[in-house]
C-alpha cells in the first residue's frame, strides 16, 4: 500500500487581508476568506499545526467620515461593521484561529512601538509634503498619474502641503530585489512577480509618507499630532496578531509561526505586501513571509463590482438564495488560479446542478438506495478482484497525494476537480457494473463487492471534501455511518466494516433555473 500521509507536524501560518471596516464586505472580499479557509482546513487535516489569521482594518479617514455622517464615534462605527464582518465569516464556516482588529489595544500599542523603532533607526524621518492627496485611496498621488485632474480610481485629489513622516524605502530596495530573485515562490502567481519587478522596483523607490495630520482616526504618533499611515498599521497585524511588539521579548507563538507561510491577498494590494511590508520587516530585523499569493478578482456578469454600477453582490444575500456550501463550492471551483473569475446567478445554478446535485448527490443517494433495495440496508464487507475497467480502489488511494500537490501550489480548484472527477467515475462504475442486473442474476458476491466499493469510494469523497464544503461533507459521511474523518483513514481502501445504512436523504438541492431567477428578481 502507498504511503498516503506525510509524516509531518509542521507549523503553518496563513493569513488573509484584513477587510476595511468602512462597509459590509462583498462576495469578492469574502472569496479570499473562503479560499484561505479551504487551505487552512486542508493543512490541518494533512497533519499541520495551522494558524489562520484574519481580521478587520479599522482606521483611516474614510471611516472617520462615515462615522461623522452617521453621527456616531468612529469606534462605535467600526464596532458595528467589524461585528457584522465576523458574523458573515462565522455564517460561512470560516475556521480562523485569530481575528485581529486594528483597534485592539495590543495591536495599537505594538504599531506605536514599531513606528518608534523605525524612527530611532532613522528609517523614518520628519519632512514636508507638497502635492496631491486622494481621500478615497488615502494616499498621496503623483501629478503624472492624474488624468484630467482625476486619480486612476476616478477620485478628484486635493492639493495639500503638510509636515509628514517619510520612510526611506530605497535603503532596502536592493536587498528586496535580491530576495525576490532568490526566492522564486515569494510572489505568486508568476505574473504578479514580474509586475512588481518590472514596474514598481525598476526605478528608485521614492520615500513613502507614513503619517497623516489631516484627520485623527488612526494610531497616534507619540509627541506629535500625526497618526500612523493606515498601511503600516494594517500590515503590522500579521505580526501583532502573534503577539509581536519590538519592546517585548519574542514569544512562543511568534517563534512558532513567523515567518508566515502564505499571505493571501487580492491582486490590487500585492504591491503593499511585496514592497512596503517586506521593507518594514527588514527594518525591524525580522524574516520575510515565505509567500504572498495575489489571487484574482471575482467579477459579476463579467463586470467589476461597484457601488456606482449597483452590481455589488453580498455574501449573506447569496447564502440566503443558494446555501453556504453552494457559495463556497462556487468560489472554490470557479474562480481560476490566475485570471479573474466570473459569477452570475445562472452559473451558480448550473454548477450546483451539475456537480453538487447530479454528480455528488446522485452518487450518494443512488448507492444508499441500492444498498437498501438489494441488501435490505446492510452493507457487506466484500472486496473481490476488480473486473471493471474503472478501478475505484486504485483511484481512491491516489486522490490525496494528487490533491496535496495542487494545494502545495494553492491551486484549490484543481484539487476540487480531482474529487468531482472521481465521483463521475463512481457514477460510471455504477452504469458499467449495473447492480440491478447482478441482483436479478443473483450474483450476490459481486453485487456486495460493487456496493461496498462504491460506499468506500464515497467515504474517500466525503473525507476529502471537508476542506471545501465542511457541513455537506459531514452529511455525506453521516449517511454512510463514517465517524473517522481523518486523512490517515485514507491510506486503506476497505476500512468500513459491514454496517446497516439508513434510508438516504437528499444532501444537495437541485435548482430549477427559471424558478430561481424569478425568485431572485422578486427578492433582490
Binding site for ligand MSP (CB under 6 A): 17-20, 25, 28-29, 31-32, 57, 234-235, 265-266, 268-269, 297-298, 305
Return the residue matching grid coordinates 486503506: 492
User: Which stretches within 50-127 are classed as H helix?
Assistant: 61-70, 74-91, 105-120
Smallest distance from ligand MSP to CB 215, Å: 17
The residue (of 244 and 374) whose beta carbon lies closer to ligand MSP is 244
The residue (of 276 and 422) whose beta carbon lies closer to ligand MSP is 276
CB 436 within 8 A of CB 428: no
The residue (of 215 and 297) whose beta carbon lies closer to ligand MSP is 297
The closest of 258, 266, 265, 246 to 290, measured between CA atoms, is 258
Using the Cα atoms of residue 93, residue 95, residue 100 and residue 105 in order, give the sign of their dihedral. positive
Smallest distance from ligand MSP to CB 233, Å: 9
Using the Cα atoms of residue 131, residue 119, residue 247 and residue 272 in order, give the sign of their dihedral. positive
Smallest distance from ligand MSP to CB 403, Å: 23
Smallest distance from ligand MSP to CB 300, Å: 8
Beta strands 11-16 and 262-266, pairing class:
parallel
The residue (of 31 and 460) whose beta carbon lies closer to ligand MSP is 31
- Classify 494 as helix, strand or coil: coil
The residue (of 31 and 186) whose beta carbon lies closer to ligand MSP is 31
CA dihedral angle for residue 287, residue 467, residue 343, residue 408, rounded to 10 degrees: 40
C-beta atoms surrounding 370 within 10 Å: 21
Smallest distance from ligand MSP to CB 199, Å: 18
The residue (of 341 and 361) whose beta carbon lies closer to ligand MSP is 341
Measured distance CA(35)–CA(153) in Å, rounded: 27
Nearest-CB residue for ligand MSP: 266
Which residues have a Cβ under 8 Å from the Cβ of 87 and sit 6 or more positions away? none
Smallest distance from ligand MSP to CB 22, Å: 8
CB 19 within 8 A of CB 29: yes
The residue (of 260 and 371) whose beta carbon lies closer to ligand MSP is 260
Amino acid at each position: 500500500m502507498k504511503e498516503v500521509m506525510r509524516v509531518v507536524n509542521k507549523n503553518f501560518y496563513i493569513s488573509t487581508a484584513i477587510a476595511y471596516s468602512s462597509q459590509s464586505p462583498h462576495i469578492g472580499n469574502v472569496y479570499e476568506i473562503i479560499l484561505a479557509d479551504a487551505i487552512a482546513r486542508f493543512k490541518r487535516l494533512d497533519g499541520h499545526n495551522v494558524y489562520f489569521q484574519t481580521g478587520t482594518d479599522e482606521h483611516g479617514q474614510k471611516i472617520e467620515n462615515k462615522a461623522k455622517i452617521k453621527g456616531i464615534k468612529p469606534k462605535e462605527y467600526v464596532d458595528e461593521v467589524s461585528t457584522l464582518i465576523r458574523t458573515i465569516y462565522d455564517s460561512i464556516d470560516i475556521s480562523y484561529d485569530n481575528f485581529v482588529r486594528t483597534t485592539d489595544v495590543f495591536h495599537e500599542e505594538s504599531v506605536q512601538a514599531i513606528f518608534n523603532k523605525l524612527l530611532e533607526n532613522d528609517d523614518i524621518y520628519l519632512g514636508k509634503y507638497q502635492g496631491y492627496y486622494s481621500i478615497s485611496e488615502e494616499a498621496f498621488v503623483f501629478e503624472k498619474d492624474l488624468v484630467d485632474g482625476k486619480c486612476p480610481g476616478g477620485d478628484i485629489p486635493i492639493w495639500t502641503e503638510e509636515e509628514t513622516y517619510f520612510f526611506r524605502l530605497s535603503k532596502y530596495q536592493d536587498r528586496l530585489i535580491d530576495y525576490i530573485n532568490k526566492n522564486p515562490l515569494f510572489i505568486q502567481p508568476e505574473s504578479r512577480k514580474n509586475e512588481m519587478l518590472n514596474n514598481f522596483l525598476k526605478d528608485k523607490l521614492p520615500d513613502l509618507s507614513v503619517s497623516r495630520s489631516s484627520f485623527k482616526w488612526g494610531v497616534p504618533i507619540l509627541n506629535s499630532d500625526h497618526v500612523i499611515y493606515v498601511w503600516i498599521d494594517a500590515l503590522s497585524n500579521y505580526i501583532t496578531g502573534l503577539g509581536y511588539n519590538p519592546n517585548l521579548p519574542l514569544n512562543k507563538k511568534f517563534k512558532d509561526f513567523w515567518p508566515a507561510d502564505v499571505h493571501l491577498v487580492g491582486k490590487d494590494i500585492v504591491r503593499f505586501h511585496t514592497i512596503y511590508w517586506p521593507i518594514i520587516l527588514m527594518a525591524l530585523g525580522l524574516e520575510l513571509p515565505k509567500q504572498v499569493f495575489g489571487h484574482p478578482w471575482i467579477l459579476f456578469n463579467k463586470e467589476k463590482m461597484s457601488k456606482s454600477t449597483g452590481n455589488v453582490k453580498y455574501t449573506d444575500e447569496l447564502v440566503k438564495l443558494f446555501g453556504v456550501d453552494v457559495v463556497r463550492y462556487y468560489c472554490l471551483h470557479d474562480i481560476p488560479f490566475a485570471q479573474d473569475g466570473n459569477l452570475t446567478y445562472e452559473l451558480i445554478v448550473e454548477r450546483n446542478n451539475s456537480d453538487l446535485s447530479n454528480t455528488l448527490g446522485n452518487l450518494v443517494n443512488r448507492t444508499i438506495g441500492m444498498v437498501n433495495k438489494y441488501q435490505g440496508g446492510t452493507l457487506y464487507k466484500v472486496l473481490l478482484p476488480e473486473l471493471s475497467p474503472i478501478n475505484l480502489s486504485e483511484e481512491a488511494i491516489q486522490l490525496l497525494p494528487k490533491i496535496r500537490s495542487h494545494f502545495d501550489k494553492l491551486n484549490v480548484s484543481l484539487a476540487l476537480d480531482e474529487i468531482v472527477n472521481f465521483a463521475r467515475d463512481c457514477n460510471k462504475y455504477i452504469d458499467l457494473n449495473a447492480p440491478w442486473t447482478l441482483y436479478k442474476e443473483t450474483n450476490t458476491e459481486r453485487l456486495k463487492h460493487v456496493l461496498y466499493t462504491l460506499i468506500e469510494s464515497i467515504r474517500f469523497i466525503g473525507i476529502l471534501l471537508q476542506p471545501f464544503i465542511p457541513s455537506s461533507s459531514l452529511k455525506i459521511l453521516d449517511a454512510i455511518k463514517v465517524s473517522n474523518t481523518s486523512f490517515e483513514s485514507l491510506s486503506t481502501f476497505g476500512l468500513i466494516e459491514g454496517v446497516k445504512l439508513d434510508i438516504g436523504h437528499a444532501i444537495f438541492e437541485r435548482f430549477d433555473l427559471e424558478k430561481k431567477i424569478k425568485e431572485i428578481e422578486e427578492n433582490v
